[in-house]
Amino acid sequence: MNTADLGLPVAVPSTALFTDHYELTMLQAALRAGTADRRSVFEVFTRRLPEGRRYGVVAGTGRVLDAVENFRFGADELDFLRRQGVVDEPTLAWLADFRFRGDIHGYPEGEVYFPGSPILRVEGSFAEAVLLETVVLSILNHDSAVAAAASRMSVAAGDRPLMEMGARRTHELAAVAASRAAYVGGFSSTSELAAGFRYGIPTIGTSAHSFTLLHDSERDAFTAQVDSLGRGTTLLVDTYDVTEAVRLAVETAGPELGAVRIDSGDLLLMAHRVRAQLDELGATRTRIVVTSDLDEYAIASLAAAPVDAYGVGTRLVTGSGHPTASMVYKLVARAESPDPAAPLVPVAKKSLGGKTSIGGRKWAARRLDEQGVPEAEVVGTGEVPAELSGELLQVPLVRGGEILGREPLDTVRDRHLAARSRLPLSAMQLSRGEAVLPTEYV
């Protein structure tokens, strides 16, 4: 069941109430009107990227699959709905037997996307597809926002590893999802043990300032940590005086000291000073780890500094200023009647304020230039042009209610790094700009 299929230890509980009240009242009205069984197509997309972003990152798909599989109403959920008077008894009876039995296609997790990209397509009866709207958007909007921030930070960091340290800056359950999304975006480890337990992400951590303050002297604190964790540990050197702490750290652990961590001050200046001091003390292999409210811009500013790794928290788990990917879940086609053979009719919302959408069941492909570099995201509703048939982006994730798209998280992470590397070089710029690929509709 769900993550356990990949040998992971945590099963997902019922996700049936991770939804909005009006999803169920729509269901009740559609059941009463006889329209609930009409075949329907919903699509997830975003109308725009956050300001300055050149690409988005699809993240959370694996969690969506778990949520879909576990979207079931047990006795407790049904009793709650009955007590609250959310829906009537016929609707409760329908929900008691609910299982999603439709199809889901989408961009594979880790792939990049652009405005208008049909990131996820949910097909089934209106009744079963509409119920998934809130939980699908909740997962994809959060995880894709964090993964996009992580990807930008990964670009800025280059070959230097990134450690996710944001658990204390967000909701305790969001912290686990954020760790997963950060890993997809290019981070190599997390401080959050629940993320390590649930998803197999490598975990890291040594000590905080409180450990140093606990002891009678910094020397005593360093000695206790080295005695416990070995000479390869990372010692935090900015509790009092950095220069003196570095001297004590090397004196305590010797040149085998694994790393020192700097968590405050002018990181660029301190990194150069600490590197010079470590080398003078013979600790030439001791690494320097920096933390302290980093984001992609701060990481980029440290590119020329002798830094070996970065720890990132607040800015990462909040999407580096953009905590949502602004994805929407819209009905784009529906059958003319409940007859399974009834043809699909394109439908679309028409409104002012930039909230229009394009009707029709869509495919997506990435057109390449003569050098094999993507030059456009092509989205269409008709027949796929022959020259694009080998570049289609959507893959089957669920067929007839059966989950098809589960895969190891390392596979997802590798896919993202590969997808990002294939983009035009301007995608890596942190300066303000438009999406690196235009979206063309055919």
- 141 assigned to some structural domain: no
Q: Rounding to the nearest 10 degrees, give the CA dihedral for residues 155, 325, 142, 157.
A: 10
CATH number for the domain including 191?
Answer: 3.20.20.70
Regarding whether 91 and 23 lie in a shared domain, the answer is yes
- 18 assigned to some structural domain: yes
Regarding whether 157 and 119 lie in a shared domain, the answer is no
Regarding whether 100 and 228 lie in a shared domain, the answer is no
- 142 assigned to some structural domain: no
CATH number for the domain including 397?
Answer: 3.20.140.10
Regarding whether 333 and 317 lie in a shared domain, the answer is no
Regarding whether 351 and 246 lie in a shared domain, the answer is no
Regarding whether 315 and 190 lie in a shared domain, the answer is yes
pLDDT at 4: 54
Regarding whether 108 and 162 lie in a shared domain, the answer is no
Regarding whether 187 and 293 lie in a shared domain, the answer is yes
- 139 assigned to some structural domain: no
Q: What are phi and psi of 396, to 5 degrees?
A: -70, 130
Domain count for the chain: 2
Regarding whether 120 and 247 lie in a shared domain, the answer is no
pLDDT tens digits, the chain, 442 residues: what are they? 456 556 666 666 899 999 999 999 999 999 999 999 999 999 999 999 998 899 999 999 999 999 999 999 999 999 999 999 999 999 999 999 999 999 999 999 999 999 999 999 999 999 999 999 999 999 999 999 999 999 999 999 999 999 999 999 999 999 999 999 999 999 999 999 999 999 999 999 999 999 999 999 999 999 999 999 999 999 999 999 999 999 999 999 999 999 999 999 999 999 999 999 999 999 999 999 999 999 999 999 999 999 999 999 999 999 999 999 999 999 999 999 999 889 999 999 887 667 778 999 999 999 999 999 999 999 999 899 999 999 999 999 999 999 999 999 999 999 999 999 999 999 999 988 899 999 999 9
Burial per residue of 98-136, b for 16 or more beta-carbon CB atoms within 10 angstroms, e otherwise: eebebbbbbbbbbbbbbbbbbbbbbbbbbbbbbbbbbbb
Q: Rounding to the nearest 10 degrees, give the CA dihedral for residues 145, 148, 149, 155.
A: 180
pLDDT at 350: 83
- C-alpha distances (whole Å) from 185 to each of 33, 44, 66, 156 are 45, 20, 20, 12
Measured at the alpha carbon of residue 428, what is the angle toward residues 142 and 326, in degrees to the nearest 5?
25
Residue that terminates a domain, selected from 261, 286, 321 = 321
Note down the domain range covering 333.
2-62+69-129+327-441
Regarding whether 315 and 401 lie in a shared domain, the answer is no
- C-alpha distances (whole Å) from 219 to each of 157, 223, 249, 256, 257 are 32, 6, 8, 17, 14
pTM of the entire predicted model:
0.95
Residue that terminates a domain, selected from 282, 306, 321 = 321
Regarding whether 368 and 388 lie in a shared domain, the answer is yes
Token digits of residue 55: 């690409």
Residue that terminates a domain, selected from 321, 341, 372 = 321
pLDDT at 431: 85
pLDDT at 43: 98
- 138 assigned to some structural domain: no
Regarding whether 347 and 317 lie in a shared domain, the answer is no
